[in-house]
Amino acid sequence: MGKSKLLFITHEMSPFLELSKISEITRQLPQAMQDKGFEIRILMPRFGNINERRNRLHEVIRLSGMNIIINDNDNPLIIKVASIPSARMQVYFLDNEEYFQRKHVFTDKDGKFYADNDERMIFFCKGALETVKKLGWSPDVVHCHGWMSSLVPAYLKNTYKDDPTFKHAKVVYSVYENEFSGKLDENFAHKAVMSDMTEEHTEVYKAGTNNALHNGAIFYSDAVVLASENIDADVLNNVKNSQKPVLEFDSTTDYENYSNFYDEITSEELVNVA
């Protein structure tokens, strides 16, 4: 049997973008898993405040050139890559001039939540999965970090459920403490619908709050990680009621528990629902 393949999807990662604890975990966890023999791929947005020259990003022509459709608009997707020499890891960056080339990440200079954060998230989630397809690389586990990746589980369980690239992938979602207090556009759930989906499939996300995004991702994931000590009580209750495999919060950083968790969920026999 070959190495297990782990796909990490995150909106931040050290040293490229450090907004919260997520950036530290998404830097250390992939390396720890690679050291254990897992094969790793990492995807994140190329926000405008990520310095291309300093981080030595360069475009991957063979992966670029796709268009991601949102609200009937075509949005070009550019893929860039950078290496972390000390870790022998590559990180793929999803870029789009309209959505990501800004000086600030999620709020403007006055601290106001960007009105199009919903479309930026949809673009990132759709683009990430299409990029992996184009890579021709089939992950065993797709591990999503942060609210900006929260639509990925819904897409994998609906639009991509029979796609050869993702057909056998298990989806893990890491829940963090409240990441934003804003609210996504009221038409977010409608815009988020992909092929083979209806608005019923995105209903669980519809409120557009931080909790709603977490709850939607939990609903569609195969397993959940409690990645923070202070998670909202309603979200925590939802995790417990989901009866899905849960990796409890652990303040240590050896990540041994993650390795065992991935092995457990991938060794479960696939259940075919008629």
The pLDDT tens digits of the residues spanning 48-70 come to: 889 888 889 999 999 998 999 99
Percent of the chain with pLDDT over 70: 97
What mean pLDDT comes out for the span 88-101?
A: 94
The pLDDT tens digits of the residues spanning 158-200 come to: 999 999 999 999 999 999 998 888 899 999 999 999 988 999 9
pLDDT at residue number 2: 60
Chain-centroid distance of CA 150 in Å reads: 6
pLDDT at residue number 149: 98
**pLDDT higher than threshold 50 for residue 274:** no
258 neighbors 247 (Cβ within 8 angstroms): yes
What mean pLDDT comes out for the span 228-246?
A: 94
- In the chain the domains, ranked by start, together with CATH numbers, are 5-267 (3.40.50.2000)
pLDDT at residue number 169: 96
pLDDT at residue number 54: 87
Write out 89-115 in H/E/C secondary structure.
EEEEEEECHHHHCCCCCCECCCCCECC
pLDDT at residue number 182: 83
**pLDDT higher than threshold 80 for residue 269:** no
Where residue 143 falls among pLDDT bands split at 50, 70, 90? Answer: very high
- Of 43 and 49, the one with more pLDDT: 43
Phi, psi (deg, nearest 5) at residue 149? -100, 5
pLDDT at residue number 88: 85
Mark out the alpha helices in 37-186 (DSSP H runs). Answer: 52-55, 97-100, 117-135, 152-157
Least confidently predicted of 31-40, 75-84, 202-211, 249-258: 249-258
**pLDDT higher than threshold 90 for residue 5:** yes
What mean pLDDT comes out for the span 13-29?
A: 93
CA distances, 82 to each of 69, 104, 159 (Å)? 26, 21, 29
CA pair distance 152, 133, nearest whole angstrom: 14
**pLDDT higher than threshold 90 for residue 151:** yes
The pLDDT tens digits of the residues spanning 119-139 come to: 999 999 999 999 999 999 999
